[in-house]
């Protein structure tokens, strides 16, 4: 069927048209539905941004109230989902448990599985937005060996998520504000690896639960969402070996054992990731407000300073990405390192949902089915095992 073009990693191939998120990687610009990320991070809330991404416009007060109420009605977890979460063995990575629980939602909401039915799809989207905070919090509690707390649907979405996670009723307003802002920053990022996965799975008309859980799987990888966890491990390693970053940077530049400066570089941004600029400032503010000085912040800034003046990084246009400073804020808030990528998942959820809806309602959508360039053996005859 004609010639195919090889584009490993889809470096030059657009998989879709989209009207959700705009990135100008050379200028370091990110907009959701036209709104600059800086304005949304400063002034909006996570649920408002979720509405914007999914429905295309900022909600008026009534629409926001209705949207929030619809979510609140579904915030409780099914007993079976709670039991499933409880079966995770100690030491399981929270991303593995989160992925399983999201996939399992399909087994508990049988009348929301047809993604082509707008009503079912809308309901499934609300169910996901409503239940994932409780699932993430339950995963965190299990991992910490603490009892799981039920949601309080009368309480604010982000406040309640923090209460369920940390088991404290008096949630610090500065922590709430920072959490809300970080969720906004992660809410969408056009056709990244996990979002493309969600679209690919959905293009086969699989349920939105199956598609989003596949997205969680993609996000768990250290080159994608897992980078936020990897950054903190990297900073901890540098700290425990005396805090000198230059040895580590030499390894990175020599590409020893494939070591990379985690939290640096991006397929699209060839300039400072605008989210990283916001997070860097917030890291200082939050650590100050919480009175938690962290030597790792100095190490991170030291690494950035070296990198931005070093020919290796300059010539490859490698700048800090969103994951470089987020972990330091999560740590100051009290999240263990393995919870960083589940937090990214919660943030990315509206983007996955919006992109799924755009994919399934676009008449131009076809099942995702890339071609290949075959490099294997030419035809040869089968040989019985005794004769091999």
Residues known to be catalytic: 266, 323
Listed in sequence order, the residues at least 6 apart from 131 whose beta carbon sits closer than 8 Å to its beta carbon are 74, 75, 77, 81, 105
Tokens linked to 96: 């593995």
DSSP 8-state assignment for residue 78: P
Task: Give least dist CB 55 to ligand CMC, A.
Answer: 25
192 binds ligand CMC (CB under 6 A): yes
The yes or no reply on residue 281 touching ligand CMC (CB under 6 A) is no
Classify the C-alpha dihedral 5-223-190-68 as positive or negative.
Answer: positive
Regarding 263 and contact with ligand CMC (CB under 6 A), the answer is yes
Residue 227 in the binding site for ligand CMC (CB under 6 A): yes
Sites for ligand CMC among residues 303-332 (CB under 6 A): 316, 318, 321-323
DSSP code for 337: G
Task: Name which of residues 7 to 66 contact ligand CMC (CB under 6 A).
Answer: 9
CA distance 120 to 110: 10
Binding to ligand CMC (CB under 6 A) within 234-253 occurs at 252
Residues in the chain: 388
Shortest Å distance, C-beta 379 to ligand CMC: 35
CB closer to ligand CMC out of 133 and 225: 225
Part in contact with ligand CMC (CB under 6 A); list of ranges 64-72, 83-91, 103-111, 265-273: 265-273
The region of 14-22, 148-156, 208-216, 258-266 touching ligand CMC under the rule CB under 6 A is 258-266
Judge whether 50 and 57 are in contact, CB under 8 Å: no
CA distances in angstroms from 160 to 173, 177, 209, 215, listed in the order given: 12, 13, 23, 25
Q: Is 203 in the site for ligand CMC (CB under 6 A)?
A: no
User: Which of these segments, 137-145, 220-228, 239-247, 377-385, binds ligand CMC (CB under 6 A)?
Assistant: 220-228
Q: Which stretch binds ligand CMC (CB under 6 A): 12-20, 28-36, 207-215, 221-229?
A: 221-229
- CA distance readout (Å), 223 to 26, 186, 194, 231, 353: 21, 16, 11, 11, 22
Which alpha helices (DSSP H) does 187-226 contain, by range? Answer: 193-202, 208-219
Residue whose C-alpha is closest to residue 37's, from 375, 278, 370: 278
Q: Which residues bind ligand CMC (CB under 6 A)?
A: 9, 192, 223-225, 227, 252, 260-267, 316, 318, 321-323
């Amino acid at each position: 069927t004609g010639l195919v073009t090889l584009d490993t990693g889809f470096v030059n191939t657009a998989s879709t048209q989209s009207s959700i998120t705009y990135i100008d990687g050379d200028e370091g610009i990110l907009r959701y539905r036209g709104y600059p990320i800086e304005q949304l991070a400063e002034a909006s809330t996570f649920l408002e941004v979720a509405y914007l991404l999914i429905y295309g416009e900022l909600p008026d007060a009534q629409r926001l109230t209705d949207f929030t109420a619809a979510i609140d009605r579904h915030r409780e977890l099914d007993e079976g989902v709670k039991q499933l979460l409880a079966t995770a063995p100690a030491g399981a990575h929270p991303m593995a448990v989160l992925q399983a629980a999201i996939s399992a939602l399909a087994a508990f909401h049988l009348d929301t599985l047809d993604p082509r039915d707008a009503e079912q799809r809308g309901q499934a989207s609300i169910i996901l937005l409503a239940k994932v905070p409780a699932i993430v919090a339950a995963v965190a509690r299990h991992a910490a060996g603490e009892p799981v707390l039920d949601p309080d649907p009368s309480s604010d979405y982000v406040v309640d998520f923090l209460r369920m996670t940390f088991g404290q009723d008096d949630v610090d307003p500065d922590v709430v504000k920072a959490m809300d802002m970080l969720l906004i920053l992660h809410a969408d990022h056009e056709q990244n690896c996990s979002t493309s996965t969600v679209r690919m799975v959905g293009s086969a008309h699989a349920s939105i639960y199956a598609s989003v859980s596949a997205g969680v799987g993609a996000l768990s990888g250290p080159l994608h969402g897992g980078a936020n966890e990897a950054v903190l491990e990297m900073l901890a390693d540098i700290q425990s070996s005396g805090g000198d970053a230059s040895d580590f940077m030499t390894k990175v530049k020599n590409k020893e054992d494939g070591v990379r400066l985690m939290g640096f570089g991006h397929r699209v941004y060839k300039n400072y990731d605008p989210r990283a600029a916001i997070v860097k400032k917030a890291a200082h503010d939050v650590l100050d407000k919480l009175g938690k000085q962290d030597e790792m912040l100095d190490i991170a800034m030291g690494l950035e300073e070296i990198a931005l003046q070093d020919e290796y990084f300059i010539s490859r246009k490698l700048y800090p990405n969103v994951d470089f400073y987020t972990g330091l804020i999560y740590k100051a808030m009290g999240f263990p390192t393995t919870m960083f990528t589940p937090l990214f998942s919660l943030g990315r959820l509206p983007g996955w949902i919006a992109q799924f809806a755009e994919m399934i309602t676009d008449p131009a959508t076809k099942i995702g089915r890339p071609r290949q360039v075959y490099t294997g053996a030419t035809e040869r005859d089968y040989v019985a095992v005794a004769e091999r």
